[in-house]
Amino acid sequence: MADNCESEAVLAAVIKCVNFAAVKHKDQRRKDPEQTPYINHPVGVAYLLVESGVKDLAVLQAALLHDTVEDTETSHEELVVEFGPKVAGIVAEVTDDKNLDKEERKRLQIINARSASREAKLVKLADKLYNLRDLERSVPQGWTQERVEEYFQWAAKVVAGCRGNSEFLEGELDKLFVKWKVNL
Ligand code: NDP
Ligand code: ZN
């Protein structure tokens, strides 16, 4: 009985995140030519973590919510109220400071990855794997092949700071890096 109650609470917590993210991202599309609904991305990132064997509820919740503060009208405080400080804290760790220009944000991702928590590193690894698979599947409109290659090179530097946390995710990323001849 206790087990049932516990798993019901876990399911409810996960579905609350899926719903929250779906509402927040409802008008957004990915950059692929098919303009896939944005929500496919956070759900896919969370599923990569499930595939990799992660069972930590807060990590799965943070994966579902990971782009809400960066890309939608959502505040850190809102996540604290709705999902608690642990989940909100992981999301904060993977959220870029939008006051900075894009080059600086990309530079800081490489540096900040190294000192991030294990939970945030797992979300980062899954996020980068999802995006690289997406880029391999189809090139966003207006992107040159050179820009795609630059993205792979940069992503590998962020991933370098997150290593040692998931054999599965890092193995899948390494397969892509070898295929794309990324300097590791
Ligand atoms: P990004 O290069 O940051 O775009 C990639 C991001 O878009 C991903 O991290 C991902 O973020 C999101 N995304 C959405 N759809 C897709 C998809 N289908 N596949 C992969 N990622 C997707 O774009 P910006 O416009 O922010 O670019 C700024 C940077 O790009 C500049 O700093 C510069 O370095 C570089 N640039 C290079 C050019 C070139 O020709 N070489 C030209 C212009 C810019 P998320 O996980 O948050 O969804
Ligand atoms: Zn993302």
**pLDDT tens per residue, range 115-124:** 999 999 999 9
104 domain residue, yes or no: yes
86 domain residue, yes or no: yes
Residue 70 confidence (pLDDT) above 90: yes
The two tokens of residue 4 are: 């049932």
The two tokens of residue 107 are: 């530079």
What predicted TM-score, i.e. pTM, was given to this entire model?
A: 0.96
Strand partners, 169: none
The two tokens of residue 178 are: 């070898």
CATH of the domain at 146: 1.10.3210.10
- Residue 71 known to be catalytic: yes
> What is the DSSP-derived secondary structure letter of residue 135?
H
Ligand 1 pocket test, pick from 24, 25, 30, 158 with the greatest ligand atom count within 8 Å of Cβ, gives 30
The two tokens of residue 170 are: 């890092």
124 domain residue, yes or no: yes
Residue 2 confidence (pLDDT) above 70: no
Residue 152 confidence (pLDDT) above 80: yes
Domain that holds residue 45: 2-179
184 domain residue, yes or no: no
Residue 163 confidence (pLDDT) above 70: yes
Taking residues 132-146, report their average pLDDT: 97
Per residue in 10-65, pLDDT (tens digit) is 999 999 999 999 999 999 999 999 999 999 999 999 999 999 999 999 999 999 99
Q: Are 135 and 33 in contact (CB under 8 A)?
A: no
Average per-residue pLDDT in the chain?
97
- Residue 134 known to be catalytic: no
